[in-house]
Amino acid sequence: MLKQFLAKLPRRSPKSFESFEDPSNSPNNGGFQRTTSLNSASPKPNAPKRTSSAVFPSSVIAGIEPLLPFKDAPASEKMSLFISKLSLCCMVFDFNNPTKNTAEKDLKRLTLIELLEFIASGPPKFSEPAILALCKMCSINLFRVFPPNYRASRSNNGGENDDDEPSFDPAWPHLQLVYDILLKFVNSPSVEPKIAKKYINHSFILRILDLFESEDPRERDCLKAIMHRIYGKFMVHRPFIRKSISNVFYRFVFETDKHNGIAELLEIFGSVITGFALPLKEEHKIFLWRVLIPLHKPKSLAVYFQQLCYCVTQFIEKDPKLASTVIRGLLKYWPITNSQKEVMFLGEVEEILEGINMGEFERVMVPLFWRIGCCINSSHFQVAERALLLWNNDQIFNLIGHNRQVILPIIFPALETNVQTHWNQSVLNLTLNVRNVFTEMDNMLFLACHAHFIEEQEKQSLAVEKRKEAWDRLENAASLQPISGNTTAVLVPMPRVN
């Protein structure tokens, strides 16, 4: 029996094939070998091509030729052929040099296409060795260390514009096929989650998350789809995935301030939040307060603001009582010197106020409209315009109308100051429109606020005059003092105006 088994093993011809290194002895390849020839000519013109048992150990055991098409293999042998072809695709090539190993690259590309078509055809249940071989092939081809992100570092130092083109991986034609294979595999009903979870495990998921650092947006899109499918299929891994993504956000906000995949990770979490059961677990509320709210802080907010805003609004739709919590968080991280971020914050506030209930609104309306009043007085016309346009929203208009006794006294000084001093005509026109709205809403309250504003202005003018008189007296007293040889400077604090 042993002789019969050995007779079936493919023979390696030293004239036809070059030797391959053991993966564990390859110093420059992260433990994976590279091939120099996969389709050398056979001594006999009509003889079938053979492969090295050092490269394809699974094919040696199965006795299957890896280059055999799936259609020519019997049904009972297709899974073994699948494993052999996966082993064939474990060769990694240098794609920075397009003229190097062109034949081998073409052979690998065609084999990857075959594998993709086989998975898409709906094969029978994948065996455990097949799942292991596929995860190994994906790991060898996909998991890699990215070079330092020089573009991002120069951008933070003011060396480059934020609108620079992203860098694209020259190996993408092969990487895309591997990603498509992994996506089809995870989606396939032929994959048993109870078996696959042993190989698509915590370590595999962490390395997938590490790939979100890629500068290639095409790769991040593929990773987003794959991670979303893994989350949906492997329920046992869901808490770990949520925790791992949260750790990426923590590292970005509190340590590095640089990451290429924040928008894609937030997209994944947006769909995850949609599936949260009610009432929300405390874990999810903590994620909102400790992760999503601090994500408003980084300077690169514009890159992922749309996805972040979606996640926040999904939380509020799940639990409207969280609206006041979110608004207090936004006020905590409100930008003071970044007008672009300020416009984005005002847009998010409008979305939140569209769905807030009256009780939650009343909890935050005083600090919120104090901040909106500051925005109305902003010298940056876009910030002032965006704040004044809140009154065009019917829902916000109704909220303000029911609480005008509190809100109008807060923002009336900002409106009057704009009318008197703002330089932009569009802002001036919008301010006059808001004043007219309040006049029509409650004329008596408007007149009372106007009288109080005039009174406060007179008090401020009187305080300015008193301060000027005090300084005049000090100057006169100082001029009457004799000048001595040794003079010392005395710092006189200015009187505080109440």
3-state DSSP of 49-99? CCCCCCCCHHHHHHCCCCCCCHHHCCHHHHHHHHHHHHHHCCCCCCCCCCC
Is 125 among the domain residues? yes
Is 487 among the domain residues? no
Is 4 among the domain residues? no
Is 471 among the domain residues? no
Is 479 among the domain residues? no
Measured CA to CA, the distance from residue 420 to residue 453 in angstroms comes to 13
Query: Where do we find the tokens 């406060």?
Result: 456
Measured CA to CA, the distance from residue 367 to residue 369 in angstroms comes to 6
Assess whether 71 and 185 both reside in one domain.
yes
Assess whether 189 and 114 both reside in one domain.
yes
pTM comes to: 0.78
Residue 379's alpha-carbon distances to 59, 370, 421, 422, 428, in angstroms, are 72, 16, 10, 7, 12
Assess whether 308 and 262 both reside in one domain.
yes
Omega before residue 279 within 30° of 0, cis: yes
Measured CA to CA, the distance from residue 427 to residue 386 in angstroms comes to 9
Assess whether 355 and 244 both reside in one domain.
no
Assess whether 25 and 123 both reside in one domain.
yes
277: exposed, middle or buried (Cβ count in 10 Å: 0-12, 13-18, 19+): exposed
Assess whether 304 and 178 both reside in one domain.
no
Query: Where do we find the tokens 């996805």?
Result: 307
At 159, is the secondary structure helix, strand, or coil? coil
The tens-digit pLDDT sequence of the chain (498 residues) is: 334 433 443 443 333 333 323 333 333 333 333 333 333 333 333 433 333 333 334 333 344 567 788 888 888 888 888 999 999 899 888 888 877 888 888 999 999 999 999 999 888 889 999 999 999 999 999 999 887 764 444 444 443 444 556 678 888 988 999 999 999 999 999 999 999 999 999 999 999 999 999 999 999 999 999 999 999 999 999 999 999 999 999 999 999 889 999 999 999 999 999 999 999 999 999 999 999 999 999 999 999 999 999 999 999 999 999 999 999 999 999 998 999 999 999 999 999 999 899 999 999 999 999 999 999 999 999 999 999 999 999 999 999 999 999 999 999 999 999 999 999 999 999 999 999 999 999 999 999 999 999 999 899 999 999 999 999 999 998 888 877 655 565 565 666 655
Residue 352 CB contacts under 8 Å (≥ 6 apart), including other chains: 312, 313, 316, 323, 326, 327
Structure-token pair, residue 497:
């105006």
Q: What phi and psi, each to the nearest 5 degrees, are found at residue 6?
A: -65, -30
Structure-token pair, residue 498:
């109440």
DSSP structure class, residue 163: T
pLDDT on residue 491: 61
- Would you say 325 and 289 are in contact if contact means Cβ atoms under 8 Å apart? yes
| Cα 266-271-276 angle, rounded to 5 deg | 115
3-state helix, strand and coil shares in percent for the chain, rounded to the nearest 5: 65, 0, 35
Measured CA to CA, the distance from residue 419 to residue 428 in angstroms comes to 6
Q: What domain count does the chain have? A: 3
Per the structure, the complete domain to which residue 371 belongs is given by 337-466
- Would you say 116 and 134 are in contact if contact means Cβ atoms under 8 Å apart? no
Is 217 among the domain residues? yes
CATH code, domain carrying 371: 1.25.40
Per the rule left: phi > 0, alpha: psi between -120 and 50, beta: everything else, 36 is alpha
Assess whether 180 and 213 both reside in one domain.
no
Is 179 among the domain residues? yes
Assess whether 179 and 226 both reside in one domain.
no
- Would you say 423 and 460 are in contact if contact means Cβ atoms under 8 Å apart? no
20: exposed, middle or buried (Cβ count in 10 Å: 0-12, 13-18, 19+): buried
Measured CA to CA, the distance from residue 66 to residue 63 in angstroms comes to 9
| H/E element, 12 | none
Helix (H) and strand (E) counts for the chain? 22, 0
Q: Which amino acid is at 148?
A: P
Assess whether 64 and 185 both reside in one domain.
yes
Is 261 among the domain residues? yes
- Would you say 367 and 332 are in contact if contact means Cβ atoms under 8 Å apart? no
Assess whether 209 and 291 both reside in one domain.
yes
Assess whether 250 and 282 both reside in one domain.
yes
| Cα 241-244-249 angle, rounded to 5 deg | 125
Assess whether 205 and 186 both reside in one domain.
no
Measured CA to CA, the distance from residue 257 to residue 252 in angstroms comes to 5
Residue 168 CB contacts under 8 Å (≥ 6 apart), including other chains: 216, 218
- Among 3, 51, 6, 54, smallest CA distance to 26 is for 54
